Amino acid sequence: MLDHKGFDLWADGYDRSVGLSDEADTYPFAGYKNVLGKIFETVLQKEHPCILDIGFGTGTLTSKLYENGCTVYGQDFSEKMIEIAAEKMPEAYLYAYDFTMGLAEELKKRKYDFIIATYSLHHLTDEQKVAFLHQLIDVLQENGKILIGDVAFETRAELEECRSAMQDEWDEDEIYFVYDELKKQFDHLTFEKISNCAGILTLKK
């Protein structure tokens, strides 16, 4: 797993690396643009929502929401990526904090209409995911939604099939979502499959 220094070094080429994988329709970013597009459309169904982006990176999605009237809060652990994102969103509230340690204290002080996380939470173990999602539910507005776009599979069998196909390219340091396992912890969780290795998990309060 990359630490914050690794992500700082990768920041300048991050968007290009993701784009190449998406265009080739290959793991890990097959379906990336569609994932972000669907989350974008969902958030903008509400007028001027307040959003929290966990692991916003260079602000690829968040900056578009910002441009469309969203109030943006965010948490990321890469100072370099925050610097790039802040240039795109000068009035956003962006905090440097490692989400493997939970939510930054400053972000616990308000409620959000949407909490989004795209290609970030796979750095958490399955146990950490459950604990962190409970923490995020606590800062959601009533009827608010958590939207997670990531490498994700409906079943463990689908994950293993992808792992087998990718062999040496599979990243053993990343822990991907398996919907039917996480569903046991969250009754209101739903899943929309976007590609052979990506989907959107939605958790409503």
| 179 or 17: which leads in pLDDT | 179
Q: For residue 145, give the H/E element and its range.
A: strand 140-153
Quote the CA–CA distance of 116 and 65 in Å, as a whole number. Answer: 11
Alpha helices in the chain (DSSP H): 4-10, 14-23, 32-43, 62-67, 79-88, 126-138, 156-166, 179-182
- Average pLDDT (93-118) is 96
- Average pLDDT (178-202) is 96
Question: What integer pLDDT is reported at residue 29 of this predicted model?
Answer: 81
Question: What integer pLDDT is reported at residue 10 of this predicted model?
Answer: 32
CATH superfamily of 4-13+29-204: Vaccinia Virus protein VP39 (3.40.50.150)
In this predicted structure, the answer to whether residue 122 has a pLDDT above a threshold of 70 is: yes
**Residue 30 DSSP SS3:** coil
Q: Confirm if 150 and 122 have CB atoms less than 8 A apart.
A: yes
| 140 or 12: which leads in pLDDT | 140
What's the mean pLDDT when you consider all of the chain? Answer: 88
- Average pLDDT (88-116) is 96
In this predicted structure, the answer to whether residue 12 has a pLDDT above a threshold of 60 is: no
In this predicted structure, the answer to whether residue 13 has a pLDDT above a threshold of 70 is: no
